[in-house]
Structure 1
Amino acid sequence: MNLGMVEIPNNWLEEIINLSAERIVVVNREGIICYINSAYCDFIGTTVESALGKPVQDVIENTRMHIVAKTGQKELAALQPIHGTEMIANRYPLIVNGELVGALGTVIFRNPDELRLYKNKIEHLAEELNFYKAKAEKEMKSKYRFDDLIGVSPSFLTVKKLAERISGSQSSVFIKGESGTGKELFAHAIHNSSLRASHPFVPINCASIPEHLLESELFGYEDGAFTGAKKGGKKGLFQLAHNGTLFLDEIGDMPLSMQSKLLRALQEKEIHRIGGHKSIPVDVRIISATHRNLEKMVDEGTFRQDLYYRLNVVKIEIPPLRERKDDIELLSIKLLEKLEKKFYRKGIQLSSRVIERLQRHKWLGNIRELENVLERAINVLNGNKIELIHLPLYLQEPAAETNHNQHNDTNTQTNHLAAIIPLTPKPLKEIVATVEKQAILNALAVANGNKLEAAKILEVGKTSFYEKCKLYQIK
């Protein structure tokens, strides 16, 4: 069905003009006012009735509308003195069927203050845009170098030298280590020493993103791909990391359905946005990391074997802190320097007894736990030297000084259980609940309240962990 142009009533047109431009005037070739709206009349102190049909120069002070109607030359953002100030006006020639018939004038700003206010708003928006642009670019740069990786123990130095050696390669790197050992720091350092250092470093924690959002985060989506999709679509992290490095942290938590899509992207070196049909070439180096046993997961069928071999070209296994006793003092000094800036303190030291106690502890949370312990100590510190009394209670207890032999480990566990389990006989279900709740509280203390990290320490799924916290009213 062919629909012709529907004619708009004149009173509609006038209202449309009033809405689209606050102050507007139209003159013919002779400079006579053919149309002027009430907003313009209010601005210059007259009425529509008294202005219509009069020469424009008799109605509007210092106007040039009659000149533009003769010359046909537009004048944009022109300053015009009026009422003791200067307004900013636009003047356009009106050309109909190739013939100059008059001119159209609009007032953009009534005075320089209005222009200044508008300019300030634009400048503020531009500054805000530049700030977030710089922030985004900074966040996609690697923050750490190999000099930031502190340690002198043989096991750590061996791993560090291997990482430095393979930095210049284009091969995928698989970093294995317990939570808190510094896997992300190694990834940053490898990128910073690679040929891709000037390009983006884009990290993503596969465990922290819900399964239904992971695909759109990695590959992006097209405009209208799903309900709530951002207008214009969105680039995925693969595209953002083009020519750089994509760091897939906690790759062991990636769902099987996403593993196949990731494998295809790595093999084909191209991606498809959700809702899109064209392939987008991507050139990224993959560094992946996990605290899980991927070899065991491959055997159990929870991790794809072909993806494991694609990721595990170069394997770097970071030793836990309990195997790096010689590094604890050096790491503590480095962490204190970092914390001093946070707390605006200087010259904080560790007593020899504290160093000895730290070296005896097992550090299930590794370097992250060590940093949390030191931060807690600074919070309760009056002077400049951290003593045993400033450490958390679980490090002040004699049980923390047990040796690594099995006999003492068993005694420690027995002592802890004895402190938790009541002497008065109770139903087994209540005792188990008491021990379970205490284990969760201990893990949260080690993880500084981070539930995701606490769940990893206890080696339970995050859904199960959150349910337990809800059950025991742990917030």
Structure 2
Amino acid sequence: MQTSDNVGENRCDAAKADAATTPVGPVWEGGVGDNVDFEALRQRAVHSLSEHLESMCVGAVTVDHNARIAWMDDKYKALVGFKGDPRGKPVEDVLPKSLLRHVIETGQPMPLDIMEFGDRSFVVTRLPLCGPDGAVIGAIGFVLFDRAEYLRPLVKKYEQLQEELVRAQQELAHERRAKHSFSQFLGASESVREIKRLGRRAAQMDSTVLLLGETGTGKELLAQAIHNAGPRANRPFVGVNVAAIPETLLEAEFFGVAPGAFTGADRRHREGKFQLANGGTLFLDEIGDMSLPLQAKLLRVLQEREIEPLGSNKVTRVDVRIIAATSRDLLGLVKDKQFRADLYYRLNVIPITLPPLRDRPEDVESIADRILEQLAIQQGTPPRELLESAVQVLREYEWPGNVRELYNTLERVVALTDAPILTAPRIRSVLPGVHHHPAGASALAAHPGTRPLQEVLSAAERMAIAAALEEAGGVKARAAKLLGISRASLYERMMSLGLGASPQ
């Protein structure tokens, strides 16, 4: 058994002894390709490293395999105020908070740590010492700084990086959060009320929802509303447009890619949409455009709730609520063998059909008003108003692009005129296939049949004022001059007709 006396050899002293037996001449001679004594070079490196550490640090201590102090330099003894010879003592007797025993037991280094000593803090490094057979025979500790304040710039930079990472994660989570609710699905028609009823009912369940309807009917808005009204509202909402992603990339987009899965692949793991949506909702838009091979893989994920990233043999469980949408006739695709019947039945648990805008003309005015409000906010201008005749033109149009086309139409009108009131001729001028009619003819066409004279006169007066305002660029004094009346009379007529006059 070793005694404390014969254990007292310093690791640095041992390195010096090794160096003493090493030839003092150069470890190589000549140029590249000549013989090199690699072992001599390694021993010199070890010796040099030990000397540099000892000179740089403010204290060093070595312990044997039982964590008894074998050597402690004078700087360390002065640092901790120890008098006498510490050799043979358990390291905790001299340094109560030392973890050198833990380094011996685990064989793992602790490159950077803070050790408390009384009311002081030391920045330390702990390394295991190994014998020729690789077994741990002791450990060595260095005090790099005698005050933790020296690490403050490093710690501050680390904390700053952590704060930036947390902020980026929060921003990303916010971007992945659904933004719409049922209140934003506008309309008071019976069909809209039924859609909201089914949507709220689906939100309280965790079953798959299938949204059917033409493009532009608001399927993604409804999907976000269902997510926001359910128990997963605080979890991610991730949308994927199947038709917008090349088929060759869609599998990687869904399931992710393992590091180095193929030539040119990222060396880091890339998460797929299923993993990003884990715990929340995955919205699969235009699901009818998915290829048959990928349909089979999607079906397995929906059944097993497991995914396997490309290039990986590891199976990962996911908890995702699926909301799918399509503008195509899925049942017809099933009959034509272009869509898997088993996947169709897996998706078609809670089907909700969104009617086209032409089938609910009574909702056009409220949707148009909201669009004009949004455009006014975006452009920082007062919201435009629609004359009843202009609303009638909007109601009579077929809207093949539905709400998306309505938004595009109103945005175009707002961009082309400064008039605060939008007239029927102005709306007709931007609608494809709709002919421009004179104001009087438009009013008569909008309200066919015999009507009271006062109603006809009010409609004509309203149209004349709107046309004058449009021609005058919204300047009421100029519009009054065009109409041949005073500005006060114009204000009075606009108030009586409900046109919202305000002095300008």
TM-score class, shorter-chain normalisation, is 0.5 to 0.7
Alignment pair present for 1:207 and 2:243:
yes
Residue correspondence of structure 1 range 358-377 to structure 2 within 5 A: 358-377=394-413
The alpha-carbon distance between structure 1 residues 94 and 400, as it changes in their structure 2 partners (threshold 3 A), is same
The alpha-carbon distance between structure 1 residues 165 and 90, as it changes in their structure 2 partners (threshold 3 A), is closer
Residue correspondence of structure 1 range 422-461 to structure 2 within 5 A: none
Q: Which amino acid aligns with 1:210?
A: P
Residue deviations 1:109-150, cap 9 Å, x none? 9x99x965x666545533432232112222332222211111
Residue deviations 1:329-362, cap 9 Å, x none? 1001112222222112234322333222222222
> Which stretch of structure 1 is more off in the superposition, 371-380 or 118-127?
118-127
Following superposition, the deviation at residue 102 of structure 1 comes to 8.9
The alpha-carbon distance between structure 1 residues 66 and 156, as it changes in their structure 2 partners (threshold 3 A), is same
1:254 pairs, out of 290, 303, 307, with 290
The alpha-carbon distance between structure 1 residues 140 and 10, as it changes in their structure 2 partners (threshold 3 A), is same
Match of 1:322 in 2: 358
The alpha-carbon distance between structure 1 residues 385 and 119, as it changes in their structure 2 partners (threshold 3 A), is farther
Q: Which amino acid aligns with 2:299?
A: L
Match of 1:25 in 2: 56
1:380 pairs, out of 416, 421, 424, with 416
Following superposition, the deviation at residue 261 of structure 1 comes to 0.3
The alpha-carbon distance between structure 1 residues 130 and 390, as it changes in their structure 2 partners (threshold 3 A), is farther
Match of 2:169 in 1: 133
Residue deviations 1:172-198, cap 9 Å, x none? 211111111100111111222233333
The alpha-carbon distance between structure 1 residues 65 and 389, as it changes in their structure 2 partners (threshold 3 A), is farther
1:147 pairs, out of 178, 183, 188, with 183
CA distance in 1, matches of 2:58, 2:415: 75
Residues 176 and 237, structure 2, Cα contact 8 Å, conserved in 1: yes
Following superposition, the deviation at residue 275 of structure 1 comes to 2.4
Residues 27 and 65, structure 1, Cα contact 8 Å, conserved in 2: no
Residues 389 and 396, structure 1, Cα contact 8 Å, conserved in 2: no
Residues 27 and 69, structure 1, Cα contact 8 Å, conserved in 2: no
The alpha-carbon distance between structure 1 residues 388 and 6, as it changes in their structure 2 partners (threshold 3 A), is farther
Alignment pair present for 1:266 and 2:302:
yes
Residue deviations 1:375-429, cap 9 Å, x none? 223333424323456558442874389xxxxxxxxxxxxxxxxxxxxxxxxxxxx
Residues 239 and 283, structure 2, Cα contact 8 Å, conserved in 1: yes
**Aligned residues with identical type, % of pairs:** 37
Residue deviations 1:420-444, cap 9 Å, x none? xxxxxxxxxxxxxxxxxxxxxxxxx
The alpha-carbon distance between structure 1 residues 189 and 9, as it changes in their structure 2 partners (threshold 3 A), is same
Following superposition, the deviation at residue 269 of structure 1 comes to 2.5
Q: Which amino acid aligns with 2:79?
A: I
Residues 385 and 421, structure 2, Cα contact 8 Å, conserved in 1: yes
Residues 244 and 284, structure 1, Cα contact 8 Å, conserved in 2: yes
CA RMSD between the two structures:
4.1
Match of 1:231 in 2: 267
Q: Which amino acid aligns with 1:291?
A: S
CA distance in 2, matches of 1:277, 1:311: 27
> Which stretch of structure 1 is more off in the superposition, 92-101 or 209-218?
92-101
The alpha-carbon distance between structure 1 residues 311 and 26, as it changes in their structure 2 partners (threshold 3 A), is closer
Residue deviations 1:443-472, cap 9 Å, x none? xxxxxxxxxxxxxxxxxxxxxxxxxxxxxx
5+ residue gaps, structure 2 = 1-37, 62-72, 83-93, 99-111, 116-120, 131-136, 438-504
The alpha-carbon distance between structure 1 residues 67 and 345, as it changes in their structure 2 partners (threshold 3 A), is same
Residues 59 and 143, structure 2, Cα contact 8 Å, conserved in 1: no
Residue correspondence of structure 1 range 7-86 to structure 2 within 5 A: 8-9=41-42, 25-26=56-57, 67=79
1:185 pairs, out of 217, 221, 239, with 221
Residues 58 and 76, structure 2, Cα contact 8 Å, conserved in 1: no
Following superposition, the deviation at residue 108 of structure 1 comes to 11
Alignment pair present for 1:157 and 2:193:
yes
Residues 69 and 102, structure 1, Cα contact 8 Å, conserved in 2: no
Residues 178 and 291, structure 1, Cα contact 8 Å, conserved in 2: yes
Residues 409 and 431, structure 2, Cα contact 8 Å, conserved in 1: no
Match of 2:339 in 1: 303
Q: Which amino acid aligns with 1:297?
A: L
The alpha-carbon distance between structure 1 residues 142 and 66, as it changes in their structure 2 partners (threshold 3 A), is same
Following superposition, the deviation at residue 9 of structure 1 comes to 4.5
CA distance in 2, matches of 1:236, 1:227: 18
Question: Given the two structures, how large is their TM-score scaled by the length of structure 1?
Answer: 0.62
2:349 pairs, out of 306, 309, 313, with 313
Q: Secondary structure at the match of 2:244?
A: coil
Q: Secondary structure at the match of 1:287?
A: strand
Q: Secondary structure at the match of 2:288?
A: helix
Following superposition, the deviation at residue 10 of structure 1 comes to 6.6
Residues 25 and 106, structure 1, Cα contact 8 Å, conserved in 2: no
CA distance in 2, matches of 1:94, 1:171: 56
CA distance in 2, matches of 1:381, 1:243: 48
Q: Secondary structure at the match of 2:192?
A: helix
The alpha-carbon distance between structure 1 residues 149 and 125, as it changes in their structure 2 partners (threshold 3 A), is same
2:385 pairs, out of 338, 349, 367, with 349
Following superposition, the deviation at residue 307 of structure 1 comes to 0.9
Q: Secondary structure at the match of 1:175?
A: strand
CA distance in 1, matches of 2:127, 2:311: 46
Residues 68 and 91, structure 1, Cα contact 8 Å, conserved in 2: no
Residue deviations 1:225-263, cap 9 Å, x none? 223433342332223333332211110111111001001
CA distance in 1, matches of 2:146, 2:55: 7
Alignment pair present for 1:241 and 2:277:
yes
Q: Which amino acid aligns with 1:135?
A: E
Question: Given the two structures, how large is their TM-score scaled by the length of structure 2?
Answer: 0.59
The alpha-carbon distance between structure 1 residues 15 and 384, as it changes in their structure 2 partners (threshold 3 A), is farther
Residues 388 and 396, structure 1, Cα contact 8 Å, conserved in 2: no
CA distance in 1, matches of 2:42, 2:212: 74
CA distance in 2, matches of 1:329, 1:383: 19
Residues 175 and 318, structure 1, Cα contact 8 Å, conserved in 2: yes
